[in-house]
Amino acid sequence: MVVKLNEEALSHARGLLRRGEVAFDERDDWSEHAPSTDAENAFIDEHGMAEFAKWHLGEDSDATEGTKGRYLFPYGDFHRLHRCAVISGESRAGQYDHASIEDALRELLRGIDKKRKNESD
pLDDT tens for 22-76 read: 999 998 999 999 999 999 999 999 999 999 999 999 999 999 999 999 999 999 9
CB of 62 closer than 8 Å to CB of 1: yes
**Structure pTM?**
0.95
Q: What is the pLDDT of residue 14?
A: 98
Model pLDDT, residue 21: 97
As a whole-number percent, the residues of the chain with pLDDT over 90 amount to: 92
Give tens-digit pLDDT for 82-110: 999 999 999 999 999 999 999 999 999 99
Cα→Cα distances 104→8, 86, 94, Å:
12, 9, 11
Enumerate long-range contacts of 40-48, CB under 8 Å, 24 or more apart: 40/68, 43/78, 44/68
Cα–Cα distance measured from residue 37 to residue 94, given in angstroms and rounded to the nearest whole number: 25
